[in-house]
Chain A
Amino acid sequence: MFSRKYFSILVTCALFALMFAVGSYLYTGFFSLQVILNLLIDNAFLLITAVGMTFVIISGGIDLSVGSVIALTTMISATLVQEHGWSPMAVIPLVLLMGAAFGWGMGAIIHYFQIQPFIVTLAGMFLARGLCYVISIDTITIDNAFYTAVAQTKIDLPGGSYVSINVVIALIVVALAVYLAHYTRFGRNVYAIGGSEQSALLMGLPVAQTKIGVYTLSGFCSALAGVVFTFYMLSGYGLHAVGMELDTIAAVVIGGTLLTGGVGYVMGTFFGVLIQGVIQTIISFEGTLSSWWTKIVIGLLLFMFILLQRVLSTRRSMQP
């Protein structure tokens, strides 16, 4: 009985382990702690975004605006810090608030006007991406002392390996999200709405609050990912994170979350992101393959996972 509930997430973990083992077998220098840590370093922003997306998808929705919100965050941060001389201490809270407000707005439209999340967040995606170019059509490079310091700080771990501050932020987000999903009413209400919104309403759960909360959370996570991305790239640019909403959704689905809502785990998403990272790493170790092979492999994996979910859910409905 244990297996059914956690089957998808076990498949995800096993797949990650398998890919890592294959990489370690094929390439020298692959099997090291630092390679794993690099997965986190290079994908911290993806992880943070995917955590927010996990809640959205579990609630039965989708958020296409995340990539654009990241770009907008980098752009606003860069212009305020570089061109207007604001302190990062003011800029970072401001962009986080902005991301949350943006998500709140979309959530309110989705809920109160009963419009499909797909189309509302698609509009949000165009809007945020377009706003980037209102600020500037060029890259704005950041040389602020705080940003460069954060970007270059290495936190040493025993054994000579290290992580960046971004990784610490991302791991804290994951830990908080697990707690939020499983130990708070908000989290459980998200699962309930994903299971059956009608029932959730009749059971007297705060559906409006929860649905809007989910998009607010996703907007906040995207903005935080944008801050982390700014640390990572040290620039603001309207073409940052193009198409990342799709990578994010892919990571969540590979992590075992059902697109129909109601089922999924934050830890599954964590491994979904690592799987994407490990594919990239294998391809860069290979050296001869173009980086587009990442997309091909992710595409195939997505097919596999969607089929697996379909098989699992039809078997479930067969049971009386």
Chain B
Amino acid sequence: MLNERQPILQMRRIHKHFPGVKALSGVDFRLFPGEVHALMGENGAGKSTLIKVLTGVYSIDEGHVELEGQELIVRSPLEAQAAGISTVYQEVNLCPNLSVAENIFIGREPRRLGRILWKEMNQKAADLLQERLQLHIDVTQPLDTYSVAVQQLVAIARALNISAKVLILDEPTSSLDRNEVEQLFRIMNNLKKEGLSILFVTHFLDQVYEISDRITILRNGEFVGEYMAQELPRIELVAKMIGKDLRLLEELPTLAEGEGSAAKEVMLEASGLGKKGAIEPFDLSIHRGEVVGLAGLLGSGRTEIARLLFAADRPDQGTLLAEGEGVATPRQAITQGIAFCSENRKTEGIIGDLSVRENIILALQATRGWYQTISRKRQEEIADEYIRMLNIHPNDPEQLIKNLSGGNQQKVLLARWLLTEPKLLILDEPTRGIDIGAKAEIQKLVLTLSQKGMSVLFISSELEEVLRVSNRVAVLRDRRKVTEIADKELNQQNVMQAIAGG
């Protein structure tokens, strides 16, 4: 029945090449009025490219786009907006210093004789947010006083106000917590009922089934298929995305049972460590060869613990000992064999304009100081070795890292720290925003490393993942460590209960 309707947007046989890369080859995409259509695919499958082509950020090499039956050619995001296609990106593209109302209306402010009518603008903004998004906030405050979730809603409000035919949401949920996601979905459902077409990109499988009517899958820049969400079993979706069966995930080595962690020597010990406003004092010890998971909601203090353990933040109280010696600065932490992979890959990890090789050897070079440079030949050997070992794609060590997909950037970061042969590896959200294949590879790697005697502190928002890799899980709630769960008690039920409290 649905198929009989005319799609509002139709993309046919879209091709896009970049130097050396075929980003899209012959991709079809249809969007029907009043539908949420999920665009799925691993990293590098071409989702972002397809969106950028549609919104005029990139030009199309070959193929046709039709909007409401009319041939559509856009050369800039502005033209796409004018045609009725608005995009809300993962990183909110608004001005943090302007007020909420201005962010919605800037460029289209209500004016009389060139004079901006602030009262009218604020009123309109407040009405818009209340009526369509059920958001009651003070619109005269600067945007950066609000959470990312609210900022995202403001971005949606702007998009709705400009044009309301097609709304593209590019990974809108990746930095939202559970409640915020639910709020967003309620709003998406309302907008859908009003007849808006929504293109939704996400990595979370649950969310796809919760909200989408239709799913299009891309793989390696090629069109795999378009399916109704109800008719596509989850397992099949994953199989189509990665192009092979789920063996990858099942192959994971299971944890050796009954290895009492008490017997092993302590690698890192924090006692009474705390920082006001960040995390209440906690005790935590990590043994050699042990994987300790940190579970808890977003903002429960997971990253704060990681930063304290790496001495990146200064604690107000408590002590931190690595193999019996005090650690007070990140430099000491590194000398003690602690490595920290930050959650902000883009700002705290990779250096975009350096090559993969240079990014890999960075930490090793840093531990050696300025004078003992690593020879070019040795650098190349190292880079090749790790690219092979971690299956980094493309396997060209001289490629600039900014051209790699998120998952591969993450692998380069891992390579950087593995190269320093750390005794303890702190991984903060190592799998965020990367595809399921790469996720499995990283999880596998963590287990292999721990079997070789490396300790790992593993932080992730995905509970299943934490459970899969950890020997022991410390649970956080509201910036406080509430409990530790290990061995036989370690299952989803128990951890969820601890997170929820009660």
Interface residues in B91-118 (C-beta closer than 8 Å to A): 93-98, 102, 106-107, 109, 111, 114-116, 118
Hey, which chain A residues are within 8 Å of B98, CB to CB?
A: 188, 191-192, 195
Stretch at the interface among B138-146, B428-436, B461-469: B138-146
- Nearest CB in chain B: distance from A180 CB, A: 10
Interface residues in B113-168 (C-beta closer than 8 Å to A): 114-116, 118, 138, 141-142, 144-145, 147, 158
Asked whether any CB of chain A lies closer than 8 Å to the CB of B195, the reply is: no
Asked whether any CB of chain B lies closer than 8 Å to the CB of A134, the reply is: no
Question: Which residue in chain A gives the minimum CB-CB distance to B77?
Answer: A202
Hey, which chain A residues are within 8 Å of B107, CB to CB?
A: 185, 189, 203-205
Consensus secondary structure, chain A interface: helix
Hey, which chain A residues are within 8 Å of B118, CB to CB?
A: 183
Hey, which chain B residues are within 8 Å of A184, CB to CB?
A: 114-116
- Nearest CB in chain B: distance from A287 CB, A: 44
Are B115 and A183 closer than 8 Å at their CB atoms?
A: yes
Scan A260-276; emit 1 where CB is below 8 A from any B CB, else 0.
00110000000000000
Hey, which chain A residues are within 8 Å of B106, CB to CB?
A: 188-189, 192, 203, 205
Interface residues in B373-399 (C-beta closer than 8 Å to A): none
Are A192 and B145 closer than 8 Å at their CB atoms?
A: no
Asked whether any CB of chain B lies closer than 8 Å to the CB of A316, the reply is: yes
Scan A196-209; emit 1 where CB is below 8 A from any B CB, else 0.
10111111110000
Consensus secondary structure, chain B interface: loop
With an 8 Å Cβ cutoff, the count of chain A residues facing the other chain is 28
Give the distance in Å from the alpha carbon of A249 to the alpha carbon of B102 in the complex.
Answer: 28
Asked whether any CB of chain B lies closer than 8 Å to the CB of A320, the reply is: yes
Asked whether any CB of chain B lies closer than 8 Å to the CB of A300, the reply is: no
Hey, which chain B residues are within 8 Å of A157, CB to CB?
A: none
Hey, which chain A residues are within 8 Å of B326, CB to CB?
A: none
Hey, which chain B residues are within 8 Å of A320, CB to CB?
A: 147, 299
Which listed residue, A182, A196, A202, touches B96 by the CB 8 Å rule? A196
Hey, which chain A residues are within 8 Å of B354, CB to CB?
A: none
Asked whether any CB of chain B lies closer than 8 Å to the CB of A296, the reply is: no
Are A185 and B116 closer than 8 Å at their CB atoms?
A: yes
Hey, which chain B residues are within 8 Å of A191, CB to CB?
A: 95, 97-98
- Nearest CB in chain B: distance from A178 CB, A: 13
Hey, which chain A residues are within 8 Å of B95, CB to CB?
A: 191-192, 195-196, 199-200, 203, 262
- Nearest CB in chain B: distance from A224 CB, A: 22
Asked whether any CB of chain B lies closer than 8 Å to the CB of A1, the reply is: yes
With an 8 Å Cβ cutoff, the count of chain B residues facing the other chain is 28
- Nearest CB in chain B: distance from A125 CB, A: 28
- Nearest CB in chain A: distance from B54 CB, A: 14
Give the distance in Å from the alpha carbon of A183 to the alpha carbon of B81 in the complex.
Answer: 25
Scan B257-269; emit 1 where CB is below 8 A from any A CB, else 0.
0000000000000
- Nearest CB in chain A: distance from B374 CB, A: 33
Report if A188-B102 is in contact (Cβ < 8 Å); known contacts: A5-B142, A183-B115.
yes
Question: Which residue in chain B gives the minimum CB-CB distance to A204?
Answer: B78
Hey, which chain B residues are within 8 Å of A203, CB to CB?
A: 93-95, 106-107, 158
Asked whether any CB of chain B lies closer than 8 Å to the CB of A61, the reply is: no
Give the distance in Å from the alpha carbon of A154 to the alpha carbon of B77 in the complex.
Answer: 56
Asked whether any CB of chain B lies closer than 8 Å to the CB of A213, the reply is: no
Question: Which residue in chain B gives the minimum CB-CB distance to A1?
Answer: B141
Scan B298-334; emit 1 where CB is below 8 A from any A CB, else 0.
0100000000000000000000000000000000000
Asked whether any CB of chain B lies closer than 8 Å to the CB of A103, the reply is: no
Are A199 and B94 closer than 8 Å at their CB atoms?
A: yes
- Nearest CB in chain B: distance from A194 CB, A: 7
Are A195 and B97 closer than 8 Å at their CB atoms?
A: yes
Most A CB atoms within 10 A — which of B96, B102, B106?
Answer: B106
- Nearest CB in chain A: distance from B380 CB, A: 33
- Nearest CB in chain B: distance from A314 CB, A: 13
Which listed residue, A1, A195, A196, touches B138 by the CB 8 Å rule? A1
Asked whether any CB of chain B lies closer than 8 Å to the CB of A3, the reply is: no
Hey, which chain A residues are within 8 Å of B116, CB to CB?
A: 182-185, 188
Asked whether any CB of chain B lies closer than 8 Å to the CB of A319, the reply is: yes
Hey, which chain B residues are within 8 Å of A194, CB to CB?
A: 97
Q: Beyond the given A185-B107, A192-B106, A320-B299, could you list 11 further A-B residue pairs with CB under 8 A, ordered by the A residue number?
A: A1-B138, A183-B115, A183-B118, A185-B111, A195-B95, A198-B93, A202-B89, A203-B93, A203-B95, A204-B81, A262-B95
- Could you pull out 16 A-B pairs where Cβ atoms are within 8 angstroms? A5-B142, A183-B118, A184-B115, A184-B116, A185-B107, A188-B109, A188-B116, A189-B107, A191-B95, A194-B97, A196-B94, A196-B95, A199-B95, A201-B77, A204-B77, A262-B97
Interface residues of B (CB under 8 A from A): 77-78, 81, 89, 93-98, 102, 106-107, 109, 111, 114-116, 118, 138, 141-142, 144-145, 147, 158, 277, 299
The 5 closest A-B CB pairs, nearest first, are A195-B95, A262-B97, A195-B97, A204-B78, A199-B93
Interface residues of A (CB under 8 A from B): 1, 4-5, 182-185, 188-189, 191-192, 194-196, 198-205, 262-263, 316, 318-320
